[in-house]
């Protein structure tokens, strides 16, 4: 029996595929390569070489909105469960292109669920986000808090969570994990897979590593007047390999159960932007030029997880510290200054 991984050549998907293969699972990836490169597959094979027979991983270049392609994948393989990463994820872009975001993320999920139902596959782990906690909840954020969003991207996550709740109510043979990620950074220790943003990075860590490698002159620190220890925004950064392992634990948890659970995947620790800069400098010995600028619209002061539910239900907690995250992000950037190009 295999795990179908949608969006499996992407940043978090590729790290999760490595962990699944290392655990002895058969894996099928479906990805339309809209935000990833086929080269990722070679890198995954390289990392897992020696331990993994080639026939344990297959790849379909297909769009999850394409019903017939998904039917073909399900009919050609013996699929037991799905980890659903495929989606568009840029907050700013979602404000400019809402229809594209709703179409891709919502319709894509609906088509996937239709085909899963047709093939009687009822186990799914979904990539949600801490963005569903909105602007007003106070950290540490627990899973029962009321949800709200401020942009179309976040709304797609909240709506898909609702759709999955409704699916479960309609047929409680389903088993569903809604994983709310905090801020994934870092890369596999080999430095062969990592985050490869297109154009100017929106997120803090890829921006820092591009300054470090000389691709950008200086980091803009968005806001130094927040009500935080040093005035800059505080987030819960989590190593992508820890996050990947959380998916394996979630798969195990939903196996042989009929449940739906929303679970935070974060460390439970908040780090400020200036704190991140100094951790990066300490871990790598490289000085990061930065300037303090205006707040970025839509940002909140502080966002970190209450991570106790994941420990209790999944027996999972993050193992890597901030130094590991900085070192591994830098190792990836240094070895791949132009990403997968
Ligand atoms: P990513 O863009 O690297 O990976 C997503 C993958 O999905 C890409 O390879 C892309 O080509 C593919 N894809 C998109 N639409 C598709 C479609 N219609 N059909 C087939 N493939 C499609 O993103 P990521 O950082 O790995 O994020 C994975 C998931 O986690 C996303 O759903 C994202 O919203 C969610 N998430 C990410 C973060 C983060 O900070 N990276 C935080 C919270 C949640
Ligand atoms: N920041 C800077 N300069 C930059 C980039 C970011 O100062 O160039 C600051 C931000 O203002 C924020 C912190 O660094 O205080 C982290 O910003 P990111 O953009 O890395 O992450 P966010 O928390 O804003 O957003 C991330 C994901 C979203 C997701 C959100 C909530 O990118 O998709 O977490 O989980 F919705």
Q: Which pLDDT value is given to residue 161?
A: 98
Handedness of CA 322, 204, 280, 223 (dihedral sign): negative
CB of 207 sitting under 6 A from ligand 2 = yes
Task: Report the nearest-CA residue for atom 24 of ligand 2.
Answer: 299
Ligand with smallest separation from the Cα of 271: 2
| Mean pLDDT for the stretch of residues 303-317 | 98
Q: What is the whole-number distance in angstroms between the Cα of residue 65 and the centre of ligand 1?
A: 14
CB of 130 sitting under 6 A from ligand 2 = yes
pLDDT in tens, 197-247: 999 999 999 999 999 999 999 999 999 999 999 999 999 999 999 999 999
pLDDT in tens, 57-103: 999 999 999 999 999 999 999 999 999 999 999 999 999 999 999 99
Fold of 2-185+237-268+305-319: Rossmann fold (3.40.50)
The answer to whether the pTM exceeds 0.85 is yes
Q: Which pLDDT value is given to residue 53?
A: 59
Q: Are 183 and 236 in contact (CB under 8 A)?
A: yes
CB of 233 sitting under 6 A from ligand 2 = yes
Q: What is the whole-number distance in angstroms between the Cα of residue 269 and the centre of ligand 1?
A: 24
pLDDT for residue 185 is more than 80: yes
pLDDT in tens, 101-150: 999 999 999 999 999 999 999 999 999 999 999 999 999 999 999 999 99
Eight-state DSSP code of residue 130? G
Q: What is the whole-number distance in angstroms between the Cα of residue 99 and the centre of ligand 2?
A: 23
Residues with C-beta less than 6 Å from any ligand 1 atom: 7, 9-13, 31-36, 63-65, 85-89, 104, 108, 127, 129, 181, 184
**From CA 234, how far away is CA 275, in angstroms rounded?**
9
Q: Which pLDDT value is given to residue 341?
A: 84
Active-site residue numbers? Answer: 153
CB of 238 sitting under 6 A from ligand 2 = no
CB of 270 sitting under 6 A from ligand 2 = no
Least confident residue range of 32-41, 54-63, 322-331: 54-63
Break the chain into its structural domains and give their ranges: 2-185+237-268+305-319
């Amino acid at each position: 029996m295999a795990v179908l991984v949608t969006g499996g050549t992407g940043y978090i998907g590729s790290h999760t595929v490595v962990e699944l293969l290392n655990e002895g699972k058969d894996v099928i990836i479906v990805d339309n390569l809209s935000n990833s490169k086929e080269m990722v597959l070679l890198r995954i094979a390289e990392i897992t070489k020696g331990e993994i027979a080639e026939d344990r991983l297959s790849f379909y270049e297909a769009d999850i909105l394409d019903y017939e392609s998904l039917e073909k994948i399900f009919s050609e393989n013996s699929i037991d469960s799905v980890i659903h990463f495929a989606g568009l994820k840029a907050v700013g872009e979602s404000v400019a292109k809402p229809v594209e975001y709703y179409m891709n993320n919502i319709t894509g999920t609906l088509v996937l669920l239709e085909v899963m139902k047709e093939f009687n596959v009822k186990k799914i782990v979904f990539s949600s986000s801490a963005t569903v906690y909105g602007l007003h909840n106070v950290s540490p954020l627990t899973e029962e808090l009321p949800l709200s969003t401020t942009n179309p991207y976040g709304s797609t996550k909240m709506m898909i969570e609702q759709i999955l709740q409704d699916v479960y109510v309609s047929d409680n043979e389903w088993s569903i994990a809604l994983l709310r990620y905090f801020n994934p950074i870092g890369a596999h220790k080999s430095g062969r897979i990592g985050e490869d943003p297109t154009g100017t990075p929106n997120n803090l860590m890829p921006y820092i590593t591009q300054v470090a490698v000389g691709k950008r002159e200086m980091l803009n620190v968005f806001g130094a007047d927040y009500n935080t220890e040093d005035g800059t925004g505080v987030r819960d950064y989590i190593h992508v390999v820890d996050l990947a392992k959380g998916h394996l634990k979630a798969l195990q948890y939903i196996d042989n159960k009929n449940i739906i659970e929303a679970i935070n995947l974060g460390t439970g620790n908040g780090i400020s932007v200036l704190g991140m800069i100094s951790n990066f400098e300490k871990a790598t010995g490289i000085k990061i030029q930065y300037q303090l600028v205006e707040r970025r619209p839509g940002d909140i002061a502080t966002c970190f997880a209450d991570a106790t539910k994941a420990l209790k239900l999944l027996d999972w907690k993050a193992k890597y510290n901030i130094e590991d995250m900085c070192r591994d992000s830098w190792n990836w950037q240094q070895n791949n200054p132009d990403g997968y190009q």
